[in-house]
Chains A and B, each alone.
Chain A
Amino acid sequence: MTVSTTWLTWISTSLILLLSTRNPIYILIALTTLLFLGAHISHRKEQPNWIGQNLRFLIIMITISTLINVIFAHTGRTILFALPKNWPVIGGNMTLESLVYGAVNGLVIGSLYLLFNILNLVLSIKQITRLIPNAFRPISIMITISLTFFPSIQRRTREIREAQIIRGNRMKKVSDWVPIIIPLLVTSLENAILLSESMTARGFNSKSSMKFSNLNLVTMIFAVFAVFAGWILRLYDYPIVISAILYVLGISSITLILLIAGKHVNVSHFHQEIWHPRDIIFVVMSFFIAVAMIGLQPVECLPSFLYSPYPILSFPEISVLGIILSAMPGLPLVFMKFD
């Protein structure tokens, strides 16, 4: 699994899963599979500290979330202990329900963090920038320039800083930034002038090549509004069909405009991403899982997805389908065996 689009599908499906459930068992399954996946990838990338760092973060995250909820939320019937009620903010009953609620919150935040951490681990900066559609060519060139200049700017910053330290600047106060930032700005902008001149000399003039009709923009405005309206209508309990139509209309219009605009742009890649059959199978599988999760409407078909420890703590319901779906973030582990 080396294609960036495959990982994009993976993260989208995993996000849908993590944001649809509050069942701690399912979240724990998802978190565990994510940890295994992260450990596997970090082992391949020779980053042995990854698992330790993330476990530390997870433990801190879950502990803080749990403690904050227990201390501040006094809802629930199973009282663990009580603080005097006249103590401002924290005074009141400390309940088991609020402890579990805080822990579930921490688990969700931790899982989301881990999800994006794995994406940052598995995809290179080059692969992420490749995900920018061709229609945004000037923007992607700007980003590429920034990423290309970044190491030299860092190096120059270090050199200027060292020179300032040798001159006796102790670099401790905010005012000590002036002798670093000003020379850095001047030398870097000199480089920008050279770059823009050489771009002009080589015939690069993006302004003339990226003109879009106002119709495209008006359609795009309506498309964004359609998605927004679909969400708001859903909030007000209008039939899901109306929202679904608005989502599909909006997102497909934007996709279409970007595809048409990007068609006229010639982009050359030095390293092509090669699609293997397993990438295609993975994308198709993820797509169907995502559609199933959205279409199943957890409230009606998967009641075990919903869980609340309030008002009385109960053991969360579990279903086989729920367990299978919550293990989905670990699916790349199966496919990566064939890499």
Chain B
Amino acid sequence: MKSRIFRIFVDLIVFILGFLNLLAPFIFQQSRNPSFPTASFPLMVSLVLVLCLILILFETQSSLLDNKMIAFLGVLIAINAGVRFLENAISGPAGFSPIFFLIILTGYFFGSRIGFLMGAMTMFVSGLITGGVGPWLPGQMITAGWLGQSSAMLKPLIQGLKWQQKTGEILVLSIYGAIWGILYGVIMNLWFWPFFSASPGQTWLQAAGLEENISRYSAYYLATSFVWDVTRSIGNIFIISFLSRPVLRIFKRFKNRFSFIVVEGKQP
């Protein structure tokens, strides 16, 4: 119980710090320090995100990861990174990516921490494989982690509505996938938005209030990312509709098989 409370506490801290960090351009205007270079934003946002990741991974590995979970997640992450390459084999519309559905389903079925690890580590491993290591990686990792983590919240909802293994379950998961298709893009733009900008109506203004900066960001998002993210959302709806039922059935089967207990006894 104590460790469970501690785990929730760490999750909350990471969530609050991560979000405050990403939302810094909106919340913490530099009204008193106009000379502070905006160039520090991407660097500092990435640094704080890395530290948040270190914190949550450090806690998770000591409380959750045993050899079964390591092998299970290791293979599942490899599958997801491999699925990313399927994008080339079976072409989808721009923005569409097949990696999100497995993160959502893992978080939904196995719980928030496994979901977080699945999301964050999928991004890390696929970044390593595709040569995509860069300042964007901490943001991708934590956002995909949150995607997997928050999927666990759907379970009590679906259980409460008694929609398990029914069409309602797929419907809820699809809607959730669609929402995150957009949300992922919205969050991912935040770490660099104050630094790289286009039109004056879309740039971050250090002296502007929360409301004005939100409307500027909305204009920037609509102009640069919305169409891309909508295709990702639609893709998520399709892929979750087609795959969630068989994949959840497989997860159920393997959850039972992975539940063997290691008893450390003395040698005779």
Tell me what chain A mostly uses at the interface: helix, strand, loop, or mixed.
helix
Min distance, Cβ A22 to any Cβ of chain B, angstroms:
7
Min distance, Cβ B170 to any Cβ of chain A, angstroms:
14
Question: Judging by beta carbons under 8 Å apart, are A221 and B44 in contact?
Answer: no
Which residue from A197, A224, A237, A306 sits with its C-beta under 8 Å from B33? A237
- Inter-chain CA distance A213–B36, complex, in Å, is 39
Instruction: Report if B168 contacts A (CB, 8 A).
Output: no
- Interface hits, A97-120 → B, CB 8 Å: 102, 105, 108-109, 112-113, 116-117, 119-120
Task: Give the residue name and chain of the B residue nearest to A199 (CB).
Answer: B67
Instruction: Report if B89 contacts A (CB, 8 A).
Output: yes
- Inter-chain CA distance A168–B235, complex, in Å, is 24
Min distance, Cβ A253 to any Cβ of chain B, angstroms:
11
- Interface hits, B225-242 → A, CB 8 Å: 235, 238-239, 242
- With a cutoff of 8 Å between Cβ atoms, the chain B residues found around residue A72 in the complex are 198-202, 223
Stretch in A32-40, A153-161, A273-281, A312-320 touching the partner: A153-161
- Inter-chain CA distance A313–B59, complex, in Å, is 52
Instruction: Report if A189 contacts B (CB, 8 A).
Output: yes
Instruction: Report if B207 contacts A (CB, 8 A).
Output: no
Question: Judging by beta carbons under 8 Å apart, are B71 and A125 in contact?
Answer: no
- Inter-chain CA distance A184–B195, complex, in Å, is 42
Stretch in B151-159, B172-180, B243-251 touching the partner: B243-251
Question: Judging by beta carbons under 8 Å apart, are A146 and B54 in contact?
Answer: no
- Inter-chain CA distance A117–B132, complex, in Å, is 8
- Interface residues of A, count at CB 8 A: 102
Instruction: Report if A172 contacts B (CB, 8 A).
Output: yes
Task: Give the residue name and chain of the A residue nearest to B92 (CB).
Answer: A174
Instruction: Report if B66 contacts A (CB, 8 A).
Output: yes
Task: Give the residue name and chain of the A residue nearest to B44 (CB).
Answer: A231
Min distance, Cβ B265 to any Cβ of chain A, angstroms:
12
Question: Judging by beta carbons under 8 Å apart, are A143 and B198 in contact?
Answer: no
- With a cutoff of 8 Å between Cβ atoms, the chain A residues found around residue B57 in the complex are 136, 139
Which residue from B71, B82, B223 sits with its C-beta under 8 Å from A192? B71
Instruction: Report if B13 contacts A (CB, 8 A).
Output: yes
Question: Judging by beta carbons under 8 Å apart, are A205 and B62 in contact?
Answer: no
Question: Judging by beta carbons under 8 Å apart, are B129 and A176 in contact?
Answer: no
Instruction: Report if B35 contacts A (CB, 8 A).
Output: yes
- With a cutoff of 8 Å between Cβ atoms, the chain B residues found around residue A189 in the complex are 72, 75-76, 250, 254
- With a cutoff of 8 Å between Cβ atoms, the chain B residues found around residue A144 in the complex are 74
Nearest 3 CB-CB pairings of A with B? A145-B74, A72-B199, A237-B33
Question: Residues on B close to A: CB < 8 A?
Answer: 6, 10, 13, 17, 20-21, 24, 28, 30, 32-33, 35-37, 39-40, 42-44, 47-48, 51-52, 54-55, 57-59, 61-62, 65-68, 70-79, 81-83, 85-86, 89-90, 92, 98, 117, 121, 124-125, 128-129, 131-135, 195-202, 223, 235, 238-239, 242-243, 246-247, 250, 254, 257-258, 260, 262, 264
Give 29 CB contacts A-B under 8 Å.
A20-B37, A75-B200, A112-B134, A125-B128, A128-B133, A129-B128, A137-B61, A139-B61, A139-B121, A143-B121, A143-B124, A150-B78, A154-B82, A171-B89, A177-B239, A177-B243, A192-B74, A192-B75, A196-B68, A196-B70, A200-B68, A206-B61, A217-B10, A220-B55, A221-B13, A224-B13, A225-B17, A228-B21, A237-B33
